[in-house]
Amino acid sequence: MTKPKPFTLHVAEQDIADLRARLARTRFPDSAPRGNDPWAFGTDVAYLRTLVEYWRERFDWRAEEAALNAFPQFQVAVDGIDLHYLHVPGIGENPMPLLLLHGWPGSVFEFLDIIPRLTDPARFGGDPRDAFTVIAPSLPGYGLSFKPGQKRYGVPEMADCVAALMHDVLGFPRFAAQGGDWGAAVTSRLGYAHADKIIGIHINLMMAAGRDPKALQDPSEEEKRYLGELAHWMGEETGYQWIQGTRPQTLSFALTDSPAGLAAWIVEKFRAWSDCGGEVERAISRERMLADISLYWFTAAIGSSFWPYYARLHGSVILPPGETITVPTGYAQFPREILKPPRSVAERVFKNIRRWSVMEKGGHFAALEQPDLLANEVRAFFRELR
């Protein structure tokens, strides 16, 4: 293992100018007849026109760049790639090391508001004894952990990579982990494949819970609700998974060349998966949303970010069939999460659930939407494991 090197994000001015020039040349599609719902067939053309204009004329990338650079960042060679991560020391007695993992179409920009709530709880009215030292990597193949031509990663490989970062590079004998989306999948995999290194895991998406309707014989009423939710999800919401999981290279041409296309692809997910009442900026600020999209643009990492979908559709699994996760597990179920399996389904895989919390508000991007609620849950769960 090489020694970590301090990292500061700085996008060249010419790349910012190129982005603005491309945005100015955007060719928008027409808007299909859609009745009263302008999002019925995907991203609303009128909304994207407004967003693109704002991105080109008013969005301050340098301000978002500075917000990220306010946290200590590093790069280190792990598993043949340069892995980027934030490493923010906790303020309190004996802070617990916490690996914080994002998903798709997210990035480390998801964590700018929640990190201080975890590293310095006293600043937000919490107990300093609950402090964490937070390590938040850009997942391998995402954002600042991507370079053209590098190998691709599925969930098991991501888990091995970040486990090496925590244990071998940073020297933590054991650590906690938290994640949503693919971050939840990697966190779950850590609880299975690296259980000896794990204090406990906390997730806000049950990706490892079963999604096979045939596995639920004589379902309860709650399980029937979940099966209906699953059927709707599979029938109406998984088109992106099939293209990203079968032809990731083809899609990457369009989204690497067109910033408006990239924004349309990502914004539709921010809106559909957040607790926003149909207006995405009620849940996620325009600046933070554009910071995330801009990071995908400047790093040209969108194609690589598709790879976990391809790997999953071609045999990569979070854990082998029949295997279970026995490390202490906490789960926060946000009301607008994309899928909400009941505890009876989750307990088939997660055998040591210590905390199961049904949240009052929030969606898929919990760290972005509800940093206070999620931070409180994470602190409460790991308090019992210190």
For the annotated catalytic residues, the residue numbers are 181, 309, 364
Q: Distance (Å, rounded) from C-alpha 245 to C-alpha 239?
A: 10
Q: Distance (Å, rounded) from C-alpha 349 to C-alpha 353?
A: 10
CB of 174 closer than 8 Å to CB of 198: yes
Q: Would strands 198-203 and 132-137 be described as parallel, antiparallel, or unpaired?
A: unpaired
Tokens of 64: 């978002």
CB of 55 closer than 8 Å to CB of 262: no
Tokens of 10: 């700085």
The two counts, helices (H) then strands (E), for the chain are 16, 9
Q: Which of 142, 139, 136 is nearest to 88 (CA)?
A: 136
Is residue 108 helix, strand or coil?
Answer: helix
Burial (CB count within 10 angstroms: exposed 0-12, middle 13-18, buried 19+), residue 149: exposed
Phi, psi of 257 (to 5 degrees): -100, -25
Q: Distance (Å, rounded) from C-alpha 1 to C-alpha 101?
A: 22
What is the 3 state secondary structure string of 114-153? HHHHHHCHHHHCCCHHHCEEEEEECCCCCHHHCCCCCCCC
Q: Which of 209, 269, 271 is nearest to 240 (CA)?
A: 269
Q: Which of 268, 255, 244, 242 is nearest to 299 (CA)?
A: 255
CB of 211 closer than 8 Å to CB of 186: no
